[in-house]
Amino acid sequence: AGDNNIRKINALHTLCALVRGIFRKSHGNCGFDVINLLIGFDSAESVMQSLIESINVLLTGDGPTNLKQLSLKFMLVLVTATDNISQNTLLEYLLINSVFESLVQILGCRTIGPVLGHDAVLLLTLLVQYRKYESANPYVVKLSILDDELALTGYAQIVSNLLSEFNRDYENQSEEPSTGWFSALANMVGSMFVAEEKKMELMRANDSLLLALYEATHLNRNFITALTHSHTPTPATTPPTSPTITPSTATPSEDKNSSPAQDRPASPVPTSVTTQPTNLLVTFLQYSSIVTQETKDLTRYNNAKLCLIILTCIAEDQYANSIMHDVNMTFRVMLHKMPMRHRKGRTEVNPPSRPLICSLLDLMVEFVLSHLMKTFPMDLYVRCLGIIHRVLCYQKKLRVRIQYPWKQLWTALINLLKFLLSHEAHLVKKHNIFHLASKVVNVFNLFVTYGDTFLPNPTSYDELYYEIIRMHQIFDNIYSMALRYTTTESEHKDSAAKLINHLVNIRAIINHFSPKVEAWTAANHLSSLTEEQVLEVVRGNYDTLTLKLQDSLDQFERYSEKPRETPFFTNQVRTIMSDVRKSVTNLSSHQHDALQELSAIM
């Protein structure tokens, strides 16, 4: 058995070298010529069937862990042989002869899952990408209907462990007493003084994890259960963060004295171990609060964009919403805030235990407030407002009332409108700011029209009107700006007209209450009113207010990857393919260690 395993290891290394060499010399020809060169076109189907059957036996059999790991590495070499995964025609044979069940078995195994899970998740994620927009991909279909609870939980645990490690690194560096925020950031994702390639290394390392999380969340409704599955974190070990073979982590399964703990590589123990319940969604919210801080360069922008796309999918799911809004399921989520001129970077060391929806809304409010800059991330703002809108639609539909400081959200949205007004000349050349302003106004319209069904109490509804009246100048100016663009031939003429229509009720509130506030002020011989006095006027004049019932405020267009997001994901997959290919280029140094380990066992 030992001699046979050695031969298998040598054979897999030979196959890795052969596949890499042939594809490297093919000069972009990824079709039948490569297949013919590697295995002969006439016998390709039977040879590939035999090869994949052998790989499945290695992955699911009783062989040593390092042999299973090398089998996964070979599959990664095969899958990433081309820059464009959809041009790798060898993968057609992987559609006919599936490795899906073997990967699911690995993910559901508590012994080898923590060791091999990262590569298994990565391989599955890449196989899902093969011609996903052109034809029926069986890996997409199988992942979408997978209901194996152990496998889904294992999948979630792999992603959670690696994102948690990133979060811990950020926290540890942020806590260093002699370093400021910029120093911490430099240690995490590089700085302006470090080469650009090094600068993005850590961020890009998580691209494949985010893609894996996205595919599971987007395709499989059963995954939401794993995403929100609560557990108590321990200083337990995590799988390797780099997709390379580490002999010390590969314990042969025939060693009867081995244990799951021995099979798993050591990981740094966090500085402060919490016994609070957590789940993957908690970890992901914390991760998102870190990576959405900086969006000026493309790598970070894409990372933040993918986080917001995932949160959009979560915000659309009714079961996920029911978990996030459940007052009996509370979590402490450590959200990080970027430093700004008026504040230092801040992380709440001991955040309150609240329903997860509060943390999601906090994250969105923080994003709105912290990215008001000339390099305006328009697309990210649209996605952020879309998430807020979806959450409010759920609350309205099921009449869910949460204890949340809604004034923070209203203030953030008004500040966004104020920013659009202040930088109109610059922004309107690049973006459709009227479309964004309409989204902001419609969030207010949703509160105005249906707020009595989901705001925590009548006082909150009164405070909404107070904020609209107090900041009436902003809404008046937004209306005037939109009006200007409807009276001239402009590419934004239609969007500006829609914005004017969306402002009807906001302007009705302002035009109804402002004279009454002024009259009350004059009648009581006052120069200004307190908030409570204005609220008193508001409460006394609801009856005479007439509002227009606007259609579709509580409706939204469900997220669809195709065709709008296709270019984004195509580019992301290309980047991930390149990074994975680099990570599996040098396996020879591990071959010697693996062979020595097997020799010692014999």
Strand partners, 340: 343
* pLDDT surpassing 80 at residue 271: no
pLDDT at 430: 95
Alpha helices in 220-355 (DSSP H): 223-227, 260-263, 280-291, 298-316, 318-325
Report the run of H or E that residue 120 belongs to, with start and end: helix 113-129
- Checking if the pLDDT of 518 tops 70, the result is yes
Task: Supply the pLDDT for residue 558.
Answer: 96
On the question of pLDDT at 50 being above 90, the answer is yes
C-alpha–C-alpha distance, residues 99 and 104, integer Å: 9
**Alpha-carbon distance 307 to 380, whole Å?**
10
User: What is the model's pTM?
Assistant: 0.87
394 exposure class (CB count in 10 Å sphere: 0-12, 13-18, 19+): buried
Contact 215, 128 (CB under 8 A): yes
CB 316 within 8 A of CB 307: no
DSSP state letter for 378: H
Residues 406-442 have pLDDT tens digits of 999 999 999 999 999 999 999 999 999 999 999 999 9
Q: Is the predicted pLDDT of residue 549 greater than 70, yes or no? A: yes
For range 306-313, the mean pLDDT: 98
Strand 346-347 and strand 336-337: the pairing is antiparallel
Residue 241: predicted pLDDT:
43
- pLDDT tier for residue 37 given thresholds of 50, 70 and 90: confident
Q: Is 24 exposed, middle or buried (0-12, 13-18, 19+ CB in 10 A)?
A: exposed
Tokens of 485: 């663009």
Dist. CA 116–CA 214, nearest whole Å: 20
Ramachandran region of residue 200, left (φ > 0), alpha (ψ -120 to 50) or beta? alpha
pLDDT at residue 261 is higher than 70: no
Amino acid at 490: S
pLDDT tens for each residue of 551-584: 899 999 999 999 999 999 999 999 999 999 988 8
Cα–Cα distance measured from residue 267 to residue 235, given in angstroms and rounded to the nearest whole number = 8
Tell me how far CA of residue 417 lies from CA of 132, 368, 435, in angstroms: 39, 11, 12
Neighbours of 268 (CB within 10 A): 12
Find, among 388, 251, 368, 376, the residue nearest to 312 by Cα: 388
Average pLDDT value for residue range 512-541 = 93
- Position 267 scores a pLDDT of 40
Indicate if the alpha-carbon torsion angle 468, 474, 480, 481 is positive or negative: negative
- Residue 431, helix vs strand vs coil: coil
CB 266 within 8 Å of CB 237: yes
* The pLDDT of residue 40: 77
Q: Is the pLDDT reported for residue 396 higher than 90? A: yes
Neighbours of 194 (CB within 10 A): 13
DSSP assignment of 504-558 equals HHHHHHHHHHHHHHHHHHHHTT-SS--HHHHHHHHHTTSTT------TTTT--PP
Task: Write the DSSP string, 163-208.
Answer: HHHHHHHHHHHHT-TT--HHHHHHHHH--TTS-HHHHTHHHHHTHH
Give residue 263's identity as a one-letter amino acid code.
Answer: D
* Contact assessment for residue 598 and residue 248, using Cβ atoms and an 8 Å cutoff: no
Q: Report the distance separating Cα 336 and Cα 289, nearest Å.
A: 5
Q: Other CB atoms closer than 10 Å to residue 498's CB: what's the count?
A: 19
Q: Please give the angle made by the CA atoms of 211, 212 and 216, to the nearest 5 degrees.
A: 115
pLDDT, one tens digit per residue, over 83-93 is: 999 999 899 99
Query: What is the C-alpha separation between 584 and 80, in angstroms, rounded?
Result: 10
Query: What one-character-per-residue DSSP string does 123-165 give?
Result: HHHHHHHTTTTTS--HHHHHHHH---HHHHHHHHHHHHHHHHH
Mean confidence (pLDDT) of the chain: 86
The mean pLDDT of 30-48, rounded to a whole number, is 77
Count of all residues that appear for the chain in the document: 602
pLDDT range class, residue 200, cuts 50, 70, 90:
low
Domain locations along the chain: 2-277+563-601, 409-554
pLDDT for the residue 170: 86
How many angstroms separate the CA atoms of 447 and 450, rounded? Answer: 5
Of 383, 282, 293, residue with least CA distance to 323: 282
- How far from 14 is each of 37, 41, 243, 392, 450, CA to CA, in Å? 15, 20, 19, 56, 66
Assess whether pLDDT exceeds 50 at residue 269: no
15 burial (CB, 10 Å; 0-12 / 13-18 / 19+) is middle
